[in-house]
Amino acid sequence: MKKHHLIIYLLSLMCLISPITTAQIYSYVDNGVRTYTDKPPNNRAVKVRTITPGVKLSSSSSVRIYKFVDSNGITHLTDKPKHSGYKLIHQGGTYLPSFSSRVAGSPIIHKRRLRYKSLIQKVANNTGLEAAFLHAIIQTESAYNRKAISPKGAVGLMQFMPATARRFGVKNRTNASSNVYGGARYLRFLLKLFRNNRQLAVAAYNAGENAVKRYGNKIPPYRETRNYVKKVMRLYRSLQGQI
């Protein structure tokens, strides 16, 4: 994808995370990587433009866009993730429609949620988990994208790493049913391990159960994990009674 098309692509993706119909987008280069954000980081930023949702793009099946929200609530989008905190939010595609709400409540998320609602409810019933809890994990992990791939190689709706997939019997990580069932089994294991403490189970899902044990059965002091727990629990509470 040509550089100016990639810039338009990234600017358009900001519409998925902006609570308003237009957004001030800033750009800066850090160690040779250009990053786009909705808030100027320090004084390095150069304002690019004010964008309007809805931009046609040149065809490309290879572009990957990653998203990271830092501890100050600043959203960063890039095609070259700098660390494991970046999550793949879009791959390929040629057109971004107009969205004015946040990703959590956007039309695209709602559409994807409906696509997997029946499967997630079935898995919840069979594993004794709340559907809202599974939805919160899946939305946070992959935004309901079964083809999502993290920079570290986690795959699918519930973002399974190869070792964890083998451990919980997931042979095909891109298969939605296998992925969700495996993720549910892992969550059941974590809930039992941490005596039904949801926050610890969520922290362990992100950082691993050994990390939680290492810090005395408390949420590890990792910025990514703490933000992850807050996001999942906030989504879980908001989805209760709606799913």
For the question of whether the overall pTM of this predicted structure is more than 0.75, the answer is no
Phi, psi of 132 (to 5 degrees): -60, -35
Q: Give the tens place of pLDDT for each residue, 166-202.
A: 999 999 999 999 999 999 999 999 999 999 999 999 9
My answer on whether 116 and 178 are in the same domain is yes
Four-point Cα dihedral 116, 135, 96, 2, nearest 10: -110
Q: Give the tens place of pLDDT for each residue, 69-120.
A: 766 566 777 777 777 777 776 665 432 333 233 334 567 888 899 999 999 9
Task: Report the alpha-carbon distance of residue 139 to residue 112 in Å, rounded.
Answer: 9
- The residue-averaged pLDDT of 227-236 equals 94
Asked whether the predicted pLDDT for residue 14 surpasses 70, the reply is no
Q: 3-class DSSP state for residue 229?
A: helix
Is 178 in contact with 172 (CB distance < 8 Å)? yes
Looking at the structure of the chain, the number of domains it has is 2
My answer on whether 126 and 181 are in the same domain is yes
My answer on whether 141 and 219 are in the same domain is yes
My answer on whether 125 and 206 are in the same domain is yes
Domain boundary among 100, 135, 153: 100
My answer on whether 174 and 213 are in the same domain is yes
Domain boundary among 100, 117, 144: 100
Domain boundary among 55, 79, 100: 100
My answer on whether 233 and 147 are in the same domain is yes
Asked whether the predicted pLDDT for residue 54 surpasses 50, the reply is no
My answer on whether 133 and 17 are in the same domain is no
**CB-count burial class (<10 Å; 0-12, 13-18, 19+) for 3:** exposed
Q: Which of 130, 141, 209, 224 is an active site residue?
A: 141
Q: What is the model's pLDDT at position 25?
A: 56
Range of the domain at 176: 105-239
My answer on whether 35 and 144 are in the same domain is no
My answer on whether 42 and 133 are in the same domain is no
Within 13 A of 166's CA, how many CA atoms are on the CB side? 2
My answer on whether 52 and 128 are in the same domain is no
Residue 56's pLDDT band (boundaries 50, 70, 90)?
A: very low
Q: What is the model's pLDDT at position 35?
A: 61
My answer on whether 39 and 140 are in the same domain is no
Q: What is the model's pLDDT at position 59?
A: 42
Output the domain CATH number for residue 231. Answer: 1.10.530.10
Top mean-pLDDT range of 1-10, 13-22, 79-88, 174-183: 174-183
The percent of residues in the chain predicted with pLDDT above 90, rounded, is: 50
My answer on whether 110 and 227 are in the same domain is yes
Question: What's the whole-number average pLDDT of the chain?
Answer: 77
Asked whether the predicted pLDDT for residue 15 surpasses 90, the reply is no
Among 51-60, 129-138, 154-163, the least confident range: 51-60
Q: Give the tens place of pLDDT for each residue, 197-231.
A: 999 999 999 999 999 999 999 999 999 999 999 99
Active site residue 224: no
Go through 180-214 and write b for each residue having 16 or more CB atoms within 10 A of its CB, e for each that does not. Answer: bbbbbbbbeebbebbeebbebbbbbbbbbbebbee
